[in-house]
Amino acid sequence: MTILVVRKFDNFSRILTEKGFQVINCPTIKTVPCEKLLEETGEFSPLNYDGIFLTSQKAAEIAYHELFSKKNFNGKVYVLGKSSFEILKDKNIRLSFDETANTAQEMLERIPLEELKGKKFLFVRGEKSLGTVRNFLEKIAVVDEKVVYRTNKIAVEESLKTEIEANEITCACFFSPSGAESFLEQFESEILNQTKIATIGKTTAEYFAKQNLRTDFIATKATAEDFAIELIEYLTNGKLKTGK
């Protein structure tokens, strides 16, 4: 089976390759830092908050390198996703992490309300992050946002386009709405008509639904490793272990 992975080679592709799948990697977006977390303007300083929310691996990386590795933060750091947790664990940081939470909404709902009410929080995010954290917190607390990275589109090389179009793709794997959007801008949507579409979350599946494309598989856990393991089970045994 040939699997198209709309992402650069990482553990996800490695796991598929080790299980005998042919993998074609086709990254269509990249993240680029756009603001310094410690560039204080006016009254803003990350150190002035009771807690900081990080819902992506990139945000966790930036927060660690630009803040936690340089200054002591006495508040609590709320993280979503195992990859973000792995970056920050054992770093003398007060972490709040629930490995069963796969979305920002689930993460927020698992935090006791009395822990959040009346507090002041900072949401460190990407340019295209959804408003879930802000919408939830602003009803019970003060929340500010700091955009520290943006997502840029990557042009797919013609040689890679030819390779993709020449192969019979069993399944195409997507990790974000922006990655899917960039892919569809560079390929005709018909390329996916005879291919199973797999996503790491419901948000990306919802994007495809708006494009009148059906998602066949949605990972139940929001890590690349779990996505790969569940997808292998689905493709080899026909078991649809999805988050639908």
- What does the alpha-carbon distance between residue 3 and residue 206 come to, in Å, rounded to a whole number? 21
Task: Please state the φ and ψ torsions of residue 150, each to the nearest 5 degrees.
Answer: -125, 165
Fold of 2-28+154-237: Rossmann fold (3.40.50)
> For residue 37, is pLDDT > 80?
no
pLDDT digits (tens, 9 = 90+) for 145-192: 999 999 999 999 999 999 998 889 999 999 999 999 999 999 988 889
pLDDT digits (tens, 9 = 90+) for 113-150: 999 999 999 999 999 888 899 999 999 999 999 999 99
* Domain range annotation of the chain: 2-28+154-237, 31-151
Say which residue, 93 or 34, is predicted with more confidence.
Answer: 93
Contact 58, 87 (CB under 8 A): no
Residue 2's closest CA among 10, 88, 13?
13
Task: Please tell me if the domain spanning 2-28+154-237 has the same topology as the one spanning 31-151.
Answer: yes
Average pLDDT over residues 206-215: 93
Average pLDDT over residues 50-66: 93
Under CATH, which number does the domain 31-151 receive? 3.40.50.10090
Residue 136 has which token pair?
Answer: 């939830």
| Percent of the chain scoring above 90 in pLDDT | 70
Summary mean pLDDT of the chain = 90
> For residue 239, is pLDDT > 70?
no
Residue 70 has which token pair?
Answer: 């340089």
Element (H, E) at 33: strand 29-33
- What does the alpha-carbon distance between residue 38 and residue 220 come to, in Å, rounded to a whole number? 35
The whole-model pTM stands at 0.82
Neighbours of 105 (CB within 10 A): 15
Burial class (CB in 10 A: 0-12, 13-18, 19+), 113: exposed
Query: In degrees to the nearest 10, what's the CA dihedral of 46, 50, 53, 58?
Result: 30
> For residue 40, is pLDDT > 80?
no
> For residue 238, is pLDDT > 80?
no
Confidence of residue 44 (pLDDT cuts 50, 70, 90): low
- What does the alpha-carbon distance between residue 220 and residue 5 come to, in Å, rounded to a whole number? 18
> For residue 240, is pLDDT > 50?
no
pLDDT digits (tens, 9 = 90+) for 59-72: 999 999 989 988 88
Contact 87, 97 (CB under 8 A): no
Determine the pLDDT at residue 47: 83
